[in-house]
Amino acid sequence: MDLKTRLIEKLEENGQRYYPLTQWAELLGLTKPDELERFFQTVREMEEEGVLTMTRNDKVILTKDAGWKTGVLSINAKGFGFVDLEEGSIYIHSSGLKDAMHQDTVLVKPKTYNDGSSEGIVVKVLERAVTQVVVETIRVNGKLDYVVNDPRIRQKVVFTQSDLSRVTEGVILVAKIVGYGDPLTIQLDKILGYKNEPGMDVLTVLAEYGIEPKFPQEVMDQVEKIPMEVREEDKKGRRDYTDRIVVTIDGEDAKDLDDAISLKKVGDKYHLQVHIADVSHYVRAYTPIDKEAEHRTTSVYVVDRVVPMLPQALSNGVCSLHPDVLRLTLTCDMVVNPNGSVDTYEIVPSFIKSNYRMTYSNVNKILDHDPQVTKQYEEVKDLFFLMKEAADVIRNRREGLGSINFETVESKFKVDENGKVLSISARTQDDAELIIEDFMVLANETVARHMKWLEIPSLYRVHEIPEKAKLQEFSKILMPFGEKLRGDLSHIQPGVLQKLLTKFEGRPEFHVISTVLLRSMQKAKYDPKCIGHFGLALKEYLHFTSPIRRYPDLIVHRMLRKYHFNLPDENARIEDEKNMQTYALETSFGERNAVEAEREVENMKKAEFMMDHVGEIHWGIISAVTRFGFFVSLENTVEGLVHIQNLTDDYYEFDARLHSLRGSRTHRMFVLGQKIKIKVAGASKEKKTVDFLLAEEVKRKSTVPAHKGGVASGRKNRIR
């Protein structure tokens, strides 16, 4: 037993008795000089790791016994932060942040008040998340100065090098942090470009999140050596599906086509094959391409570009399932019964030749009996009606299990060649999109069940039961609508929440309630343990279907190859199981980072777009109510704030119980889901904010100051 474990056991054994270091050494039987030196070094390491701490009188205590907590810090642009814990969040005032930064893993000393709220201070930063900063050069009193772009970073910066002769005013720089504190000590890494260059706004946000569009040279050198066509030797040991009608269905602009479908009906059962690009054939473990993909974790989709996880020669080339060319795949071959369950299945290495590159819009037109598109695809039109039939059966089964149908609204941007937004609209999801979703979810569930029961080391996509406190808060929001959550919220079933959502279908507030419910859920993440997916109401689930753009899918493919297709190497199992824990943490963090970057770019581009629409009148729906006002969502998915100080007809107070603002004299109320007419009062691209004014207040006020809060936006639902 190592010294750390022995000390922890001794500390736990002695409960609340706090002894000095030397006494703990004696209790462990350590008396020799070299033993004591090793002991003191171990204590220092454990203190750095946040396992134990020293009291003011030099006594030792486990941090968990002191009531201290470890979690990830999220800092708001206003300066305060929250530390996310399994049991909730702890508020951290700006004065209690110490030198911690956004997304750092920190040790927090909490204090709980009588009303159940918690506040804390950061005791120690255990792990740094921010390793670089983006700074803009400005001129102050005739001299160049440097300002950090991210408002969540409060520290000033000092460059280590004195020679910055290449740097001029208005240039955006990326710098590595070489010393933490206030100020941050930084070292110039690269000059990104001039602030006002086309596309520089998006590049700046990506750089703030550590997302690099360019690939290292060693990665590109390896790509040059990869054959860009399937060779005869590549087909050995694979099942040939080239005799089947195989189609891909994606968006019009998609270039990374990583899934294809073939389907036929035999009797009353559906023989469904989901073919997924075999990226693991080309991206082998621990190679430069693999290390870079692991670092990137996921492709990032922002308004006017994609930052891919893999170089384009792979993501848009030999791995992409383009029509009329041989491609290597892994196939989940399933027989689906009339109840939507999988009777039998095989997971096999394979190769295909896609026959048709279909788009969502064209498949939807065929299903709507559009004569022109139907004639264009006369040979395969019946296939899409069969797909709709099979997908309905599969979805009905999942809905019967209680799967929650979160109908959140995503934003669709149309931009010009310089990245300027020409229009914003709500992205529609019709039958074709649902068909592919149903087939992919079924394949993911089938592969997860297979790996679970064969005990293959894997990464699962898990979604835990919601926290009771968040469901209680959601239940309060439902009260003005005459609804509430009933029963034991600690053990709620997903079907209960879906039945509740069904009651709102067809009502104006449906999408708002769906979005609020989604925010009340736990975040989906990756985990080596198969603990189920609450939102989908599935006991087994993982990500298998998108290895071009998600690293966890690539890991799943790699483990299938290692333990299912080939003779398993049991000597490697322990190491692989250990690696899964690391991959789970890395990929969960990488996904959150990508989502934040995508949301930040969307908010910025929405604000920029609305700057050209100041003064316009629109109808919208109240999507959130706070103490300082309420947010209104427009039909084009843009959200803005109506600040409470601009409600001049009365004095309004926030009712936390009903999540509403109520006038003290008129008793007028502003509640979630209420339809309302607004005027666009202002927008700030730099702050990424949009401000509205009630249309009826326009005559009362001539100026509206911009608020400092964030802009909520429609975004990709990554709960699955």
Residue 85, strand partner residues: 88
For residue 87, the model assigns a pLDDT of: 67
Name the domain boundary from 572, 601, 630: 601
**To the nearest whole percent, how much of the chain has pLDDT over 70?**
94
Query: Is 206 part of a structural domain of the chain?
Result: no
Which band of pLDDT confidence, cut at 50, 70 and 90, is reported for residue 326?
very high
Same domain, 597 and 659: no
* Three-state DSSP state, 123: strand
pLDDT in tens, 276-285: 999 999 999 9
Is the pLDDT score of 677 beyond 80?
yes
| 268's tokens | 């009353």
Q: Which range among 121-130, 362-371, 630-639 shows the weakest confidence by mean pLDDT?
A: 121-130
Residues 395, 490: one domain? no
Average pLDDT value for the chain = 90
pLDDT band at 58 (very low <50, low <70, confident <90, very high): low
3-class state of residue 230 by DSSP: coil
Residues 429 and 485 in one domain: no
Q: 249 in a domain, yes or no?
A: yes
- The residue type of 541 is Y
Position of tokens 């005791």? 123
Task: Report the alpha-carbon distance of residue 247 to residue 103 in Å, rounded.
Answer: 42
pLDDT, average across residues 663-678:
93
Could you give the CA distance from residue 234 to residue 87 in angstroms, rounded to a whole number? 50
Q: What is the pLDDT of residues 562-612, one digit of tens each?
A: 999 998 788 889 999 999 999 999 999 999 999 999 999 999 999 999 999
DSSP state of 71: E
Pairing of strands 247-250, 171-179: unpaired
**Residue 417: CA atoms inside 13 Å, Cβ hemisphere, count?**
0
pLDDT band at 314 (very low <50, low <70, confident <90, very high): very high
Is the same domain home to 361 and 442? yes
Q: Is the pLDDT of residue 38 over 90?
A: no
**b/e map of 684-709 (b: 16 or more CB within 10 Å)?**
bbebbbbbbbbeebeeeeeebebbeb
- Distances in Å between the alpha carbon of 478 and those of 481, 504, 655? 5, 11, 14
Record the pTM. Answer: 0.87
Q: Which helix (H) or strand (E) holds 517?
A: helix 510-520
pLDDT tens for each residue of 121-150: 898 888 898 999 999 999 888 888 899 988
**207 — pLDDT class (breaks 50, 70, 90):** very high
Q: What is the pLDDT of residue 116?
A: 62
pLDDT band at 90 (very low <50, low <70, confident <90, very high): confident
Residue 690 and residue 568 share a domain:
no
Whether residue 713 lies inside any domain: the answer is: no
| Nearest by Cα to 659 from 513, 446, 457 | 513
Q: Is the pLDDT of residue 679 over 90?
A: yes
Q: Are 151 and 116 part of one and the same domain?
A: no
**Nearest by Cα to 131 from 163, 153, 111:** 153
Do 495 and 444 share a structural domain? no
Whole-number Å distance between alpha carbons of 207 and 192: 9
What's the rounded Cα separation, in Å, for the pair 607 and 51? 44
Predicted pLDDT of residue 114: 64
At residue 700, does pLDDT exceed 50?
Answer: no
Structurally, how many domains does the chain consist of? 6
User: CB under 8 Å to 147, separation ≥6 — which residues?
Assistant: 135, 136, 138
Domain assignment present for 152: yes
For residue 56, the model assigns a pLDDT of 64
Confidence of residue 163 (pLDDT cuts 50, 70, 90): low
Q: Tell whether 712 is covered by a domain.
A: no
Question: Do 367 and 260 lie in a common domain?
Answer: yes
Confidence of residue 167 (pLDDT cuts 50, 70, 90): confident
C-alpha distances (whole Å) from 368 to each of 358, 430, 431, 696 are 15, 11, 10, 42
Residue 66 pLDDT greater than 80, yes or no: no
For residue 711, name the pLDDT band (cuts at 50, 70, 90). Answer: very low
pLDDT given at position 186:
93
Q: What is the pLDDT of residues 416-470, one digit of tens each?
A: 999 999 999 998 889 999 999 999 999 999 999 999 999 999 999 999 999 888 8
Q: Say yes or no: 338 and 248 in one domain.
A: yes
- Is residue 423 domain-shared with residue 293, that is, in the same domain? yes
pLDDT value, residue 399: 95
Q: How many whole angstroms separate alpha carbon 387 and alpha carbon 245?
A: 13
Residue 410 tokens read as: 């995503």
Q: Residues 386, 447: one domain?
A: yes
Q: Confidence band (pLDDT; 50, 70, 90) for 709? A: very low
Strand order in the sheet with 669-671: 652-655, 660-663, 669-671
Top pLDDT among 408 and 633 is at 633
Identify the band that residue 714 occupies on the pLDDT scale cut at 50, 70 and 90.
Answer: very low
List b or e across 570-591, with b for residues whose CB sees 16 or more CB atoms inside 10 angstroms: eeeeeebeebbeebbebbbbbb
Same domain membership, residue 509 and residue 394: no
- Say which CATH number the domain at 7 has: 1.10.10
Q: Is residue 607 part of a domain?
A: no
On the question of pLDDT at 20 being above 90, the answer is no
pLDDT at position 161, please?
A: 75
Whether 495 shows a pLDDT value over 60: the answer reads: yes
The domain containing residue 42 runs over which residues?
3-62
Pick the last residue of a domain from 62, 83, 113: 62
Nearest partner of 461 among 549, 550, 393, 399, judged by Cα = 550
Give the mean model confidence (pLDDT) for residues 643-661.
90
What span, in angstroms and rounded, lies between the C-alpha atoms of 690 and 639?
7
Q: What was the pLDDT predicted at 1?
A: 62
> Of 95-99, 508-512, 697-701, which gets the smallest average pLDDT?
697-701
Residue 204 lies in a domain: no
Instruction: Provide the pLDDT for residue 409.
Output: 83
On whether residue 265 sits in a domain, the answer given is yes
Question: Which amino acid is located at 96 in the chain?
Answer: G
